Amino acid sequence: MKKFKRRLSLTLRGSQTIDESLSELAEQMTIEENSSKDNEPIVKNGRPPTSHSMHSFLHQYTGSFKKPPLRRPHSVIGGSLGSFMAMPRNGSRLDIVHENLKMGSDGESDQASGTSSDEVQSPTGVCLRNRIHRRISIEDLNKRLSLPADIRIPDGYLEKLQINSPPFDQPMSRRSRRASLSEIGFGKMETYIKLEKLGEGTYATVYKGRSKLTENLVALKEIRLEHEEGAPCTAIREVSLLKDLKHANIVTLHDIVHTDKSLTLVFEYLDKDLKQYMDDCGNIMSMHNVKLFLYQILRGLAYCHRRKVLHRDLKPQNLLINEKGELKLADFGLARAKSVPTKTYSNEVVTLWYRPPDVLLGSSEYSTQIDMWGVGCIFFEMASGRPLFPGSTVEDELHLIFRLLGTPSQENWPGVSSNDEFKNYNFPKYKPQPLINHAPRLDSEGIELITKFLQYESKKRVSAEEAMKHVYFRSLGPRIHALPESVSIFSLKEIQLQKDPGFRNSSYPETAQ
């Protein structure tokens, strides 16, 4: 011990910080420890104390003093050493605080229980912190699963769980967390009942279902794996993005069930998509409802774009609506996380009717603006009751665009004249037509906004964030812009759906127009 104190005093030089000095001393002692063993630990009640060798203590202690200090048994530190290290030296005071170190599997340290059996005598007054025993609760489950506010574990089941659940003295590891949720029923197909088939796609079938655990309706997207080596990349993409996207206008992924034959994604259930909504009201929507739906589309997209996520497949079928009128972006199978604006992607994305002209002409270098052209097309479709550019082929689609907006030139679309695809088609010179002639129900502010979406040059298209601030949305009031991301716009009493002029066979809430 004298030898150690002498070394420590020599190491604590004025030119070094305490952290640097202790680190240097720990390295010196590491070399010597290879040739000698630590003293046998003192056994109390048949159990060895939670002690460490001196060099490991120093390694763990030498870090930022901003971190919580570590507690160590008195048998390891030693009274004389603790007193020595607590003495002021070079204007600094080094206090040794005894604290047992507990580590979760995630590598994060956690404070130990204040009811430790080891008797700790500190050279300075230390107030030990008590750790509250944790049980599995509704708050824990919601945090672990990122469940929305309307998903709750039944009270009876939770009471039963509380009785059978032991308190946790330390943080749950990821493996333990998965195991505990599996016991409750998450991650198991038998937890969900299939009620009816909603649709079938190239690689997936969607069912309406019910959770036995929460009794809530869910949408089960069953992805077939028979002819795939592992999950399709579209499914992996969708899962990886949705688990990090938590917003009131983005569909919530509740659970994932993986079997040998399928991968099932469990989503929140919404009654219909925008296409079905427009069909139900005879394609004649209230212009107030058009404004509410457009704002929610922009709100969800702005959240995605802030996180550098492109949806890349916007269309009415991928916009889901519940009975309150809440609209949510869905089907992120083609979505990508964008790290660099000029990164090259596939140009075989976005349904043809909602595909921007730069992508139609073969461009694979695009950013968040790819989604904004589709927003303009959907805006027009809601306001007029018909698709804006319903082309059957790429050439037909371009013809429809150029007939309405005019054939692009070097002036309004720099670089288009040198595009090989554009030159090969040899389009006639169309003149632009007034949009008001095709969407007479839109006011001047609406026409101005849709024009900002439908720009040939992608960088000139208005962003989702900027579009939300457009004067077109002024009638919705200022409070709608200050809502937290996870809160629906319908939480404001002044925001309500209005009755659509066309026939609508639904139970949606209606107010007088």
Annotated binding site for ATP: 221
Are 315 and 375 spatial neighbours (Cβ–Cβ below 8 Å)? no
Ramachandran angles phi, psi of 219, nearest 5° = -110, 125
Specify binding-site residues: 221
The dihedral region occupied by 379, where left means phi > 0, alpha psi between -120 and 50, and beta the remainder, is alpha
Nearest residue to 398 (alpha-carbon basis) of 411, 380, 416: 416
Nearest residue to 131 (alpha-carbon basis) of 117, 116, 112: 112
Active site residue 140: no
Catalytic residue, candidates 118, 255, 313, 500: 313
User: Can you tell me the distance from the alpha carbon of 23 to that of 7, in angstroms, rounded to the nearest whole number?
Assistant: 12
Tell me the Cα Rg of the chain: 32
- Please report, in angstroms and rounded to a whole number, the separation of the first and last CA atoms in the chain: 87
- At 426, the amino acid letter reads N
Angle at 164 between CA 163 and CA 168, to 5 degrees: 100
Residue 389, CB-side half-sphere exposure with 13 Å CA sphere: 29
Cross-strand partners of 168:
134
Nearest residue to 377 (alpha-carbon basis) of 433, 454, 489, 318: 454
Residue 113, CB-side half-sphere exposure with 13 Å CA sphere: 13
User: Can you tell me the distance from the alpha carbon of 268 to that of 329, in angstroms, rounded to the nearest whole number?
Assistant: 12
Structure tokens of 80? 């004389």
Contacts 24+ apart (CB under 8 A), 200-206: 203/228, 203/232, 203/234, 203/235, 204/235
DSSP-derived letter for residue 460 is G
Are 299 and 245 spatial neighbours (Cβ–Cβ below 8 Å)? no
Q: Could you list the active site residues?
A: 313
